[in-house]
Amino acid sequence: MKSAILCSVLLAAVAVPAVAEPPKLKMTTEIPQSITTPDKVETSIGNLEFFDGVPSQQTVQTLYDNLDSMRGVQTFLAGYPAASAYALYEGPKAIGADRPNKIQIFKQMMDSKTLLLTGNTSTLYALTTLDLKTDGPTVIELPPGMLGMLDSAWFKFIGNFGAAGQDKGKGGKYLVLPPGYKGDVPDGYFVVKAPTYRNWVFLRGSIAKGMEAAVENIEKNLKVYPLAKAGNPPATEFINASGKVANFIPANDFTFFEQLNAVVQYEPIESLEPETRGLFASVGIIKDKPFEPDARMKKLLTEAVAIGNATARAITFYPRNPGNYIYGEDSGWLMGYADKNTTFTYDGAYDIDAATLFHYNAIGVTPAMALTRPGVGSDYGLLSTDSEKRALDGSKTYRLTLPPNVPVKDFWAVTIYDTQTRSQLQTDEQFPTLGSQTEGMQKNADGSYDIYFAPKPPKGKEGNWLQTIPGKSWLILLRMYGPEQAWIDKTWRPGEVELVE
């Protein structure tokens, strides 16, 4: 009995006490509001709804639509240079220039029938696109006295021809090697290594000894052929592009993405940096895969082109980069290369706005286009608004005054363009240009020039008049060939375009 009592006492001593009710959970640290998401957020893309930070299904759809649209706009802006280079390859096919050895030459200069970004009426152009995937290493036999450049399929600068090139203006044989070429390189060539298969050749012929002599120099001496056929090269053909209708401009509709995709599919993927490659992939443009957006994505990309095109036009007519303004932001005069920077790169960072303004309105990338030595090369001023920063109206009359002693060694020229196509304005004037080489131009008593823009010439000013079209806007480029110091240091400057009536 005593043992039983003792065991009972011991068991009582070690009995587990009743478990108390656990305390309620309580936040010990308050979460900063700055890192949380409200249940409802009003934004420019609509109302966004969440349950404790988790988006509703409708909000998810809204956000993905917005993300795809934004990436489409970014792809339009980033891909425009490549689409422009592609248009320079595809456009000439309409006039029979479908091979690298079929050179487009503008024997009577370029006129307004050619849709090409701000082409001029004063220069003898010779153009072609190499195809190193088809032809392999390619030879360009360059005549003396030429100027030009080689740009890649992404419209990046590769090298110069002529005075700024390896031949120093004396001419010679260039050998353009394809990406990753490992074969032998024969002696006797100026060697250029291309990062892409298709590369655009832009050449200008000197007309110092007259147009006929310049054309003869090109047609007799310019040759393009594969290195593999150097022993018996196929004949180089010359197609007179003057006065012929052809479109060298990228699309501003969904077709743009198809053009960009064609470039991505053809070129080595290594020629495109990973960030841009990823951007293109985000809208469905992927190397070695079909570009087949569904109905939703096609609708979003179609809208993205419209927004991207509108953005490029905002940048064109009212740029935010101070480096685009020649005389400060109170003036309408712009330069195509912001800060004379032909790489569009500042402190290692690529400025897509600076690149957009140039590529949306011009072609041909080379440091030689931003040369600032007095009396050498050429320089340009673009103007697309009047002195009050208003769009130029083709139904009204305007006047541009160039002060006395226009500082050029060679000549100056003002050409008028269509704001829609950024090509020469198509009017009754085949060559819509006035300049120091224009017969009938009148000087004012003080040596200055007044140039008028109107549907009809002001009385007595027929020789100083460029025709405009009611209902259309327009822009101009002032080209300075052999610009002198007064242009470079801005002690001489053109007037603004003033509304007369």
CATH number at residue 395: 2.60.120.600
Give a yes or no: residue 443 inside a domain: yes
Asked if pLDDT for residue 21 goes beyond 80, the answer is: no
pTM of the model: 0.91
- Which residues have a Cβ under 8 Å from the Cβ of 122 and sit 6 or more positions away? 109, 411, 413, 415, 433, 435, 437, 479, 481
Same domain, yes or no, for 102 and 223?
Answer: yes
- Which residues have a Cβ under 8 Å from the Cβ of 373 and sit 6 or more positions away? none
How many domains does one find in the chain? 3
* CATH number of the domain bearing residue 218: 2.60.40.1610
- CA–CA distances in Å: residue 425 to residues 183, 194, 353, 430, 456: 48, 35, 25, 9, 15
Q: What is the pLDDT of residues 386-445, one digit of tens each?
A: 999 999 999 999 999 999 999 999 999 999 999 999 999 999 999 999 999 999 999 999
- Which residues have a Cβ under 8 Å from the Cβ of 149 and sit 6 or more positions away? 157, 158, 159, 160, 161, 202, 364, 365, 366, 368
Residue 216, classified by CB atoms within 10 Å of its CB into exposed (0-12), middle (13-18) or buried (19+), is middle
Question: Whole domain around residue 391: which residue ranges?
Answer: 371-499
Same domain, yes or no, for 240 and 105?
Answer: yes
Give a yes or no: residue 326 inside a domain: no
Give a yes or no: residue 328 inside a domain: no
pLDDT at 25: 57
pLDDT at 319: 97
The count of other CB atoms within 10 Å of the CB of residue 141 is 15
Give a yes or no: residue 338 inside a domain: no
Q: How far apart are CA 44 and CA 42, in angstroms?
A: 7
pLDDT at 27: 54
Give a yes or no: residue 420 inside a domain: yes
Mean pLDDT of 275-282: 97
Closest CA to 308 of 300, 329, 333: 300
Transcribe 183-203 into DSSP letters.
S---SSSEEEE-SSSEEEEEE
Asked if pLDDT for residue 8 goes beyond 70, the answer is: no
pLDDT at 373: 86
Q: How far apart are CA 293 and CA 383, in angstroms?
A: 39
Asked if pLDDT for residue 1 goes beyond 50, the answer is: no
Answer with the one of 219, 247, 275 that is the final residue of a domain: 247
Q: How far apart are CA 65 and CA 203, in angstroms?
A: 44
Same domain, yes or no, for 283 and 418?
Answer: no
Same domain, yes or no, for 116 and 233?
Answer: yes
Same domain, yes or no, for 171 and 267?
Answer: no
Asked if pLDDT for residue 185 goes beyond 90, the answer is: yes
Same domain, yes or no, for 190 and 142?
Answer: yes
Asked if pLDDT for residue 28 goes beyond 70, the answer is: no
Burial 60-98 (b: 16+ CB within 10 A, else e): eebeebeebbebbbbbbbbbbbbbbbbbbbbbbeebebe
- The single-letter code of the amino acid at 479 is R
Q: What is the pLDDT of residues 82-120, one digit of tens each?
A: 999 999 999 999 999 999 999 999 999 999 999 999 999
pLDDT at 26: 57
Asked if pLDDT for residue 7 goes beyond 50, the answer is: no
Asked if pLDDT for residue 371 goes beyond 90, the answer is: no
Same domain, yes or no, for 76 and 104?
Answer: no
pLDDT at 372: 79
pLDDT at 4: 45
Burial 187-198 (b: 16+ CB within 10 A, else e): eebbebebbbbb
Transcribe 158-175 into DSSP letters.
EEEEETTSTTTTS-EEEE
The chain-wide mean pLDDT, for the chain, equals 94
| pLDDT band (50, 70, 90) for residue 229 | very high
- The single-letter code of the amino acid at 111 is D
Q: How far apart are CA 208 and CA 404, in angstroms?
A: 25
Percent of the chain with pLDDT over 90: 90
Give a yes or no: residue 236 inside a domain: yes
Pull the structure tokens for residue 186: 């024969």
Same domain, yes or no, for 140 and 180?
Answer: yes
Q: How far apart are CA 205 and CA 348, in angstroms?
A: 35
Answer with the one of 229, 247, 265 that is the final residue of a domain: 247
Transcribe 90-103 into DSSP letters.
HGGGGGT--STTEE
Mean pLDDT of 35-48: 96
Same domain, yes or no, for 84 and 164?
Answer: no
pLDDT at 19: 52
Same domain, yes or no, for 192 and 310?
Answer: no
Same domain, yes or no, for 86 and 157?
Answer: no
Give a yes or no: residue 32 inside a domain: no
- What is residue 393's DSSP assignment? P
* CATH number of the domain bearing residue 296: 1.10.3360.10
- What is residue 390's DSSP assignment? P
Answer with the one of 193, 217, 247 that is the final residue of a domain: 247
Give a yes or no: residue 176 inside a domain: yes
Q: What is the pLDDT of residues 42-88, one digit of tens each?
A: 999 999 999 999 999 999 999 999 999 999 999 999 999 999 999 99
Same domain, yes or no, for 101 and 241?
Answer: yes
The count of other CB atoms within 10 Å of the CB of residue 392 is 22
- What is residue 121's DSSP assignment? S
Closest CA to 117 of 320, 379, 471, 357: 357
